A = this chain, B = another copy of it.
């Protein structure tokens, strides 16, 4: 049985839940709270020396960290990942875009405004993430003005990875009203079979 060590309110962790539910794979979820130091314990660091959630337990003793590597591992050989070399590279293009150009702005602003113990003290820090986050949203808007889904018109882990923090970008202070194609795409993701909402 697959086991996910994750924090349900984390977009990086929610990606894994979305993929497992879309694929109908059974799994167990073990809730981990980084805010309580639960990613810095010796047992956790033995699973992921980088001290971050999510971690997928493939079998006892075999642990895979990095949300987008987990998505790839779960999706390969399923409809969530195309088969041609170029389309697979396009999926990876968007997965790396998400981790480098999107998550460090949109997820971090959300964390600082919504989950940080002293959000008022983090206001300037959160504000410094807005330009980068809006740049990422503009890239997405331009692509989604021409495409229904991120890669080749088929629902893939590229959509799952980018949905995870985009659909809660408002928590970070981002206004999605300016991005109608992004908002239409969010609804298309929500209409997919096996869609699961982020736990409250």
Determine which residue in A86, A100, A101, A139 has the highest number of CB atoms from chain B within 10 A of its CB, and name it: A100
- Contact A72 B92, CB 8 Å, known A139-B49, A142-B49: yes
- Contact A92 B104, CB 8 Å, known A58-B86, A76-B85, A142-B49: no
Q: Please state if A96 and B99 are interface contacts (CB–CB under 8 Å).
A: yes
- Which one of B73, B89, B104 lies within 8 Å of A85 (CB-CB)? B73
Instruction: State the CA gap A50–B105 with chains docked (Å).
Output: 14
Number of copies of this chain that the complex holds: 2
Q: Please state if B73 and A96 are interface contacts (CB–CB under 8 Å).
A: no
Which residues of chain B are within 8 angstroms of A86 by Cβ–Cβ distance?
A: 58, 62, 64, 73
- Contact A64 B49, CB 8 Å, known A96-B99, A100-B100: no
Instruction: State the CA gap A24–B34 with chains docked (Å).
Output: 45
Answer yes or no: A38 CB below 8 A from chain B CBs. no
Interface residues on chain A, number (Cβ under 8 Å)? 34
Residues 111-148 of chain A, each 1 if its beta carbon lies under 8 Å from chain B, else 0: 00000000000000000000000000001001100000
Q: Please state if B143 and A49 are interface contacts (CB–CB under 8 Å).
A: yes
Q: Please state if B50 and A101 are interface contacts (CB–CB under 8 Å).
A: yes
Q: Please state if B76 and A93 are interface contacts (CB–CB under 8 Å).
A: no
Give the Cβ gap from A84 to chain B, nearest Cβ, in Å: 11
A sample of 9 more A-B contacts (CB under 8 A), given A64-B86, A64-B93, A69-B96, is A49-B142, A52-B101, A62-B86, A65-B93, A66-B97, A73-B88, A73-B89, A76-B85, A100-B104
Residues of A within 8 A of B (CB): 49-50, 52, 58, 62, 64-70, 72-73, 76-77, 85-86, 88-90, 92-93, 95-97, 99-101, 103-104, 139, 142-143
